[in-house]
Structure 1
Amino acid sequence: MRFPHPLILGAGPAGCAAAITLGAYGQDCTLLDRSEPVGDPLCGGFLSWRTAEQLDMLGVDIRKLGAHPVEKLWLFDGGRSSEVALPHQAFGLSRHALDTEMRRMAVATGAQFVVDTVRGLENGTVTGAQAEYEAPTLFLATGKHDVRGESRPRHSPDTTIGIRLRLPASPARNRLLDGAIELHLFPGGYVGIVVQEGGSANICLAVRKSALTEVGGSPKALFERLADGNSALAERLGDGWQGAQLDTIGAVPYGWICRDTSPGVYRLGDQAAVIPSLAGEGNSIAIASGMAAASAYIAGRSAPEYQRDFAARARRPVRLASALWHAAETRIGARAAIALSHLSPGIIASFAQGARIPPARSLAQV
C-alpha cells in the first residue's frame, strides 16, 4: 500500500498532534495504529500546565473531558512528607480520555485511520501484520514501543520498569488526594498518584529492575513492601487493591534523546526524547514534538533538521528531570528533597518549572 502523503505510526498524543496540525493546513495524512479501540496506556495521567497550553492550541478542551484540577505536590519519604504549591494549575486525565478525543479530532480534520501492527521499518517501507506500507514521509510516534529497524539504544544494566495500578473512585481516597499529585519516594524508584476524570486514581510506579528482583519480580509484592513502610501509601491504596489489574512495561530508556534520524523519518514523543515520568512532562513532549514535526514538514524542513532542533529544545528539561530522578531514587536524595521543600518551597517549584519543555509556537506562526 503506497501513500503520497505522510504516514504516522501511532495514534497517541504525539501522532494525533501531528495529524491535527497537518489537517489544520489542509495536508493529508494517514494514522496507523495497532488497535481500533482506544486503550488506556501506562502512566501519562498527569497533564502539566504546559501540556494544557498545547492542547488548548490544538483545540482540545480537557475540562470538558472531566480533567481533575491539580494545584499542589505532596512529597513522601516513608514517614516524612511535605507540600509544595505548583507554579500553575495542572490536571489529572486518563490517556483513554485524552487519546479518544485527540484521535477523534485527527480524523475530523481529515486524517485517514488504518489498523495494523507494525513489525518493522526499513528504507521507508513499513512492514505490518496485514500489509506493507510505503510513504515518502514517516512520523514515528509509537511511544515506548520500539519498531524493528529504528530501535532506541538501551545501555543501562539496571533498566527502569513502569507499573500502573488504576483504582476506582473512592470518597476517602479522593479526600486525601484532593487537588494534589503525590510522589512517594523509595530507594530504586517512586510511586506517583493522581486523581483522574470520574474520581479514579492512577497509581504509577517507576522502579529499577534490581529493586523489583528483590521481591521475586512481583509488582504486587513490591507494592505490599512499600505500603508496609509507608502508612500514607497504604492509606491511598485502601482495601482490595490487590484485586485490581496491574499493567507493566519494561526497559524504559529514561533520559534518552534522539539527535539525528533517517531521511524522511520524523521521530516524535518517546521516540524523540524520554523524560523521566517523575517530571510529569511526557505528554507535553509528545504533543510538542508532534506539532513541531508537522510544522517542519509543512515548512519544507528535513527530518534530520527537525530532529536536531527538537533535541536542543528537549535537552534542558530532560537533563534536569534525569538529575532529579537519580537523586530522588536514593535515600539521601529523597530526604534532601523533603528537607529542601520545607526550607525553601520555591526551589522545588522552580525545579518543576524548569522541567517543562519550552513553549511551542502557535499554529498561526507556522
Structure 2
Amino acid sequence: MKGRPLILGAGPAGAMAAIMLGRAGAEPILIDRDAIVGDALCGGFLSWRSAERLRGIGLGLPDIGAHPVTRLALYAGKAEAHAELPETGYGLSRRGFDTAMRALAVSSGAELQIDRIRQLSPGAAVGERQEWRSGSIFLAAGKHDVRGHSRPRQSDDPALGLRIRIPAQAGLTRLLGGKIELHLFPGGYAGIVCQEDGSANICLALRKSMLAAAGGDPRALLDRLAGEHPHFGQRMAFAASDLTIDSIGAVPYGFIAQGTQPGLFRLGDQAAVIPSLAGEGMSIALTSGAMAAKFWLEGGGGAAENYQRAMARAARRPVAVAKLIWETAESERFGQPLVRMAGLAPWLTNLAMRASRIAA
C-alpha cells in the first residue's frame, strides 16, 4: 500500500481530497473512525463559496435538502443589525453533509476503511485494527489532534465549543426564517441557523472561564446567557431542558500550520482554524482538500511542504480578518458598538464577509 495515499478522516476536507485523488486514478484509502456518519459539532453552515466549490464537483446543496440562507442578523444586547448575504448560503447538518461527501468519495474511487488512528509517525498511521503505511498521508482529523501531531494551545483562557440542536417548531422557524444569526456576548458568541429537517442548530464559541463561572454546567451557562440577552433567550425558550448539549474544549482559533513533515499533508482544521463566526470553516476544509490533492498529483509525497506553505498563504487573510472580528465581537466594550455600526453601514458587514472568504 506504499504507493496509495492514506487520508485520515472522512469529513469534508478528507472526503474532498479523496474525491479529487480518486477521480485522478490514485486509488486513495480513506480511513475514518466511524462506520456510521456522526454529527460533528462545528460546520452547520456552508457559505456561498462552499456551495460554488461543491457544485464544481457535482454536489448541489439544494439537491440534498440544505436549507437556503440569504440574510445575516447580528445581535448584541439591545443592538441588532441585518444584512443580505453576498450570495445564498445553506444550513445543513454535518451528518447530512458528511454522508453525501463520503458517498461521493467512494463513488469517485476511494476505498473506505474503518479504524481509529491512535498515533502518527513518518510514513505510518497506527490504528486499533492495524498499522497503515504510506509515503503520503493526508491528516484530516478535524479539531481532534492525533498523538504526535498536536497543535499549539497557548491561551490562558482558551475557547471551547458548545452545540445544542432544537427540534423543528413552527414558532422558531418563523423567528429564524432564511437567516443565519450571530448573537454576541462578552466572552463569546452563538451562531444559529435552520438545517435540513427544520431543526435549529445553535453553536457557541465561548471562553472556558465562562463555563467555569457557571459551575462547569453547560445548561446553566446557556440559561444564564438566555436570561441576560433577550434575543438569544427568545430562541432558547424553545429548547427543552433535557436536550443534549455537545462540547469540545480548547479550540485553537487562529492556528495556521506553517510547515509539515515530508509526505504529510495537513488538511482542514489541521491546516487552519478560522473562528466559526465567519462561516468559512467548511470552505477552508474543502479548499485544503482540493489543493492538497492537486499538489500530490503533481509532485507526490514530496510536494507536502510546498502545499503547506501555499495553504498557509491562502488562509492567512481570512483567518486574520475573522480573528479580529471575533476578538472585537466578544469584547464587552466593543460588541454592541460593532453591531450598531453594522446597522448603520450594512456595506461594512458585506465587506467583512467577503474579506473572510478563502480564495477558491
TM-score, normalised on structure 2?
Answer: 0.98
Q: CA deviation at 1:79?
A: 2.1
d(CA) in 2 for partners of 1:272, 1:189: 23
Alignment correspondent of 2:327:
326
Deviation sequence 1:33-84 (CA, Å, 0-9, x none): 0000000100200000101011111211110111111111111112221111
Contact 1:17/1:58 (8 A) holds in 2: no
* Aligned ranges 1:1-366 → 2 under 5 Å: 2-300=1-299, 302-359=303-360
Residue 289 of structure 1 aligns to a residue in which SS?
helix
What is the CA–CA distance in structure 2 between the aligned matches of 1:113 and 1:63, rounded to whole Å?
26
Q: Are the aligned partners of 1:17 and 1:287 in contact in 2 as well (CA < 8 Å)?
A: yes
Q: Distance in 2 between matches of 1:50 and 1:242?
A: 36
Q: Is the 8 A contact 1:71 1:90 kept in 2?
A: yes
1: distance between equivalents of 2:160 and 2:240?
Answer: 20
Whole-Å Cα distance in 1 between the matches of residues 240 and 31 of structure 2? 35
Equivalent residues of 1:138, 1:264 under 8 A apart: yes
CA RMSD, 1 decimal: 1.0
Cα pair 1:46 1:93 within 8 Å, conserved: yes
Mapped partners of 1:241, 1:41: distance in 2: 21
Q: 2 CA distance for matches of 1:262 and 1:254?
A: 22
Residues 179 and 240 of structure 1: CA distance in aligned 2, closer, same or farther (over 3 Å): closer
- Quick one: percent identity of the two aligned structures? 50
Deviation, 1:236, is 1.1
Q: Count matched residues.
A: 358
* C-alpha contact 1:43 1:202 (8 A) present in aligned 2: no
For residues 269 and 12 of structure 1, the distance between their equivalents in structure 2, rounded to whole angstroms, comes to 9
Residue 239 of structure 1 deviates from its aligned partner by 3.8
Q: Could you give the per-residue CA deviations for residues 104-161 of structure 1, whole angstroms, max 9, x where no partner exists? A: 0101111111111111011211111121110110000000000111111111111110
Higher mean alpha-carbon deviation, 320-329 vs 73-82, is at 73-82
Question: Residues of 1 paired with 2:238 and 2:340: CA distance?
Answer: 31
Runs of 4+ aligned residues of structure 1 deviating over 2 Å after TM superposition are 238-241
Give secondary structure in 1 for the equivalent of 2:197.
helix
Greater CA deviation, 235-244 or 309-318? 235-244
Shift, 1:238, TM fit: 2.5
| Equivalent pair of 2:54/2:60 in contact (CA under 8 Å) | yes
Residue type matched to 1:70 in 2? V
Pairwise CA distance, 1:3: 4.1
Gap runs ≥5 in structure 1: 360-366
Distance 1:160 1:242 in 2: 24
Kept after mapping to 2: 8 A contact 1:6/1:30: yes
